[in-house]
Structure 1
Amino acid sequence: MTTTNTPEWVNQQLFTGLLKHNYNDFETIKKFMSTAAISGGENYLTIVLRIEIGMQMKDKSSKEISYILKIPLVSDRGDEHDFHDLFVTEADMYDRLVPELERLYEKHASISVRFKPAHLKFPENAPNCDYILMEDLRSKGYKNLERMFGLGQTEMRAVLKKLAQWHAASARRVADEGDYEEHYQKSYICPEQYKWIEQSNVTFNVPFLECMQHYELDPGQQLLISNYTARMTELYMDFGRISPSDFSVLNHGDFWCNNFLFNVNNGEIEDVCFVDFQLPKYGTPAHDLFSLLMTTPNMHIKLEQFDQFIEYYHEQLVNHLKLLKYERKIPTLPELHTNLNKHGLWAFVCAQRMLPVSLYPASSDSNIENFMGDSEMAMQFKRNILLNPSYVKQMKRILPWLIERGYIN
């Protein structure tokens, strides 16, 4: 069985070579199924397939295995597609950078910390297009939690601890290996992308300002936000700059609940694992913190426990930097808050652009053309997600809170 989005090269013959390479006692494939691993409207940039295989081994016993395969939305043009650089980046993260971070814990702390699924490559007859092939963590009990309802305090603390481990290791890596390559320092938030960022800001800000009247702001707040959106491209440039005097980390870059999975056993969270390493950015930890805290907690705790979440993250960050024998200056909690205030733009960006996607029910309209485009259909899609009652309810509270905190100024 295959899905309509499965290209012809994803076939039994291709995976036979992979299984022969990884299993000495493999004999033949008895079952081969390709199905959508993520329902429509849950993934904007890629097609994600679950490959389920029933193997017969040389002793005639049976074994079941499954993989996750990510391929470009446009998969029949070789590398000539808009997302090629994202696949190159993600492959490098899986192959090189994330394993380096994991090894730092073994080297300096003698503990095992895992951040990602196992990454595999086809050993022979590899397809002539971009792909990311991973183990299927579902078979080990990992799962995404409900994005539209939001996570509770226990789940949030588990994610924040794992994020602090990641950030600590990424900072220690600089001490061990030197600076990250220019690509990771710039990502897409750099002067070379000025025109694209400017156009993207227009594409989002026009429908947002149209819908803002539904968020019950007073006239002064509306004027402040309107003026703020007019400055956003310059604020993006400021956000992308790396200050040598500030504590910096390698951010995941797209850190919300669809991009991490929980392993829950008897109601206890045993592990959190990250996926989708397509947009990493070296710089302020505000990048990941605002992405997570503006999108993922349940609204009942999102604002009320914001400071407690930051305090817990900082506590874990300090613990793990010390565990890794980090010898450079460790930021204090007040310094972390100062950094968040300095980079408050990202709190607004995540509330304006990531949160409406997180709260919107899966739909065939949820695609990259509508999310990034400026056609009438695309603009109407953005109006729809910005006027989703769940989103409107949250923004009535979030926008005044962002202003009060000084994140919008």
Structure 2
Amino acid sequence: MSTPDISIMSSTENLLKLSKESFSAPVAQCDENFEHSDVPDWLTKDYLEHYLRAYHQDRKLKILRWNIRPALGKGENYGGVLTRIRADYQTSMGTVATGHYIVKTSFESDEFVQKTMEPYDIFNREMSVYEKVLPRLNELLREIDDNEQIFAETLAVDRERSALIFEDLNVREFIMPNRLAGLDMTLAKMVLRKLAKMHATSAVLNERENGCLESYDRGFFNRHTDNYMPGFEQLLMACSRRVRQWEDYELYAEKITNLKSNYTELGKRVFDPNPSHVNVLTHGDLWTNNVMVKYDKITGEPVDVIIIDFQYAVWGSPAIDLHYFLNTSLEEDMHLHRQDELIQCYYQTFADTLCKLRYRAEIPSLHKFHLQLEEKAFYAFNSTCVILAIQRNEETEDADFKAIMQDDERATRFKDTCFKNMYVQRVIKKLLPIYERRGLLEVEQ
């Protein structure tokens, strides 16, 4: 869930979502097919030039030509505006170079979106993560001679405009994997190993710096605001309406409907840190569209991944990311049958990194770690039965943040359409009986 991209919204498809296509348009002052209304008025050539001068420490750097266009199609991102820019610039030494950038900005022109997202403070929090946290996590990895890149390089953080400027990973042949197909075992393990390093270094940083990460407390569910809850609850009801149409599933539909009365509280309990558990800075919205992948040109096998989009980074259980990722972003067989294998893969890197960094608190055994994940298992149900339909949606005409959060006729139609997806229906049909037997459909858990 950017969004809930919620990733839904980033998520929600929540997200630093970059498109799969390479930047191949000819250099011009502007791409004539570009929807200028999607870009803030202040995102000009002079604006970019200012930050390139600061980044390159060259006050005479000058942009000669630039090209600007949307980085994503409709239905790919709900958490912000992503713009791709290519710029030819000349340095003070007379050298001409070409830079490729992604500029991430807020939905500042839409009052409804702005007011709904405001209490989550996602843009300030993401800027803080990129500016203050991720560099520290990288430093901890360097302590143990781990030079692997986990995050995209940030060129600029503009707090006044709520904007971030990143390297365009497409130029290094990183692309977004197919969100409709899901990730295979090889790629999923690559993502989980990097996630484990992020989690482990964050636990160590928080331990060394006296709880410095615990203020990141505004995930999709939190104790400060319920602004997203109407949208999530309506998705839950859309799931119930679909399930009610299936033969012999009436009981499950009734239980899903009844869950609405305690749905928000159950979600908040997932996000509440448990002092007896290992806690980390979670990504908060880890799914297919928040991962960039580089593939071998000959074999087609993935060779590297980078994790992007930290709007919903939140201090809490690793279960937040694991349940969300494992129940939204995998190929069908892995979603249904191979999650334990992936959790073991994650755990090995997680525990190993904690050991190498001399983490002082208890590192749970694999068995204890599974028990901690089970305490937060409501989020596995939520990811499968509420979030998955948004993220695998193929009908993009009405796919936007308002269609998720509002309850008018268009929004209801959009949510119902998401649950027509046959992949989503197959997975829910197979997992609902399992969730029911585990007590995850009970109002009181």
Shift of 1:182: 5.0
Kept after mapping to 2: 8 A contact 1:142/1:264: yes
In structure 2, the CA distance between the partners of 1:216 and 1:149, relative to structure 1 (3 Å rule), is farther
CA deviation profile, 1:301-352 (whole Å, cap 9, x unmatched): 2211111111111122112111222222111122122122211111111112
TM-aligned CA distance change 1:182 to 1:105, over 3 Å: closer
Spell out, residue by residue over 1:250-287, the C-alpha distance to the aligned partner (whole angstroms, 9 max, x if none). Answer: 11000101011112334453332111101111111110
Shift in Å at residue 288 of structure 1?
A: 0.1
Q: 1:171 aligns with which of 189, 198, 203?
A: 203
Q: Counterpart of 1:389?
A: 422
State how 1:78-89 maps to structure 2 within 5 Å.
82-83=116-117, 85-89=121-125
TM-score, structure 2 length as denominator?
A: 0.83
- Residues 391 and 61 of structure 1: CA distance in aligned 2, closer, same or farther (over 3 Å): same
2:337 to 291, 297, 304: 304
Partner AA of 1:290 in structure 2: H
| Identity level (%) | 25
Letter in 1 for 2:103: L
Change (3 A) 1:378 1:183: farther
Q: Which moved more, 1:283-292 or 1:238-247?
A: 238-247
Does the Cα contact within 8 Å between 1:299 and 1:394 map onto a contact in 2? Answer: yes
More helix by percentage: 1
* 1:353 maps to which of 386, 393, 399: 386
- 1:213-362 matches, within 5 Å, as 213-266=244-297, 267-361=300-394
**C-alpha distance in 2 between matches for 1:149 and 1:96:** 35
- For 1:198 and 1:63, the matched residues in 2 are separated by 47
Residue 132 of structure 1 is matched in structure 2 by 164
Structure 1 match to 2:149: 114
Alpha-carbon offset, residue 139 of structure 1: 1.1
* 8 A contact 2:182–2:329 mirrored in 1: yes
Check whether the contact 2:271–2:320 (CA below 8 A) recurs between aligned residues.
Answer: no
Superposition pairs of residues 171-210 of structure 1, within 5 angstroms: 171-187=203-219, 189-193=221-225, 195-196=226-227, 199-210=230-241
Residue 194 of structure 2 corresponds to: 162
- Would the aligned equivalents of 1:314 and 1:333 in 2 still touch at CA under 8 Å? yes
Inter-CA distance 375–321: structure 2 relative to 1 (3 Å threshold):
same
Which moves more between the two structures, 24-33 or 145-154?
24-33
Match of 1:47 among 81, 93, 96: 81
When residues 153 and 216 of structure 1 are mapped into structure 2, their CA distance, relative to the original with a 3 A threshold, is farther
Cα distance change on mapping 1:318 and 1:215 into 2, 3 Å: farther
Determine if contact 1:215/1:395 at 8 Å carries over to the other structure: no
Look up the SS of the partner of 1:303 in the other structure.
helix
Q: Contact between 2:231 and 2:404, CA under 8 Å: does it hold in 1? A: no
CA contact (8 A) 1:39 1:362 kept: no
| 8 A Cα contact 2:398 2:410, kept in partner | no
**Structure 2 stretches lacking a partner, 5+ long:** 1-29
The CA distance in 2 between the partners of 1:408 and 1:76, in whole Å, is 36
Match among 99, 103, 109 for residue 139 of structure 2: 103
Query: What TM-score, normalized to structure 1?
Result: 0.90
Cα separation, 2, equivalents of 1:64 and 1:197:
41
Q: Paired residues, what number?
A: 403
Distance of aligned partners of 1:323 and 1:181 in 2 relative to their CA distance in 1, 3 Å threshold: closer
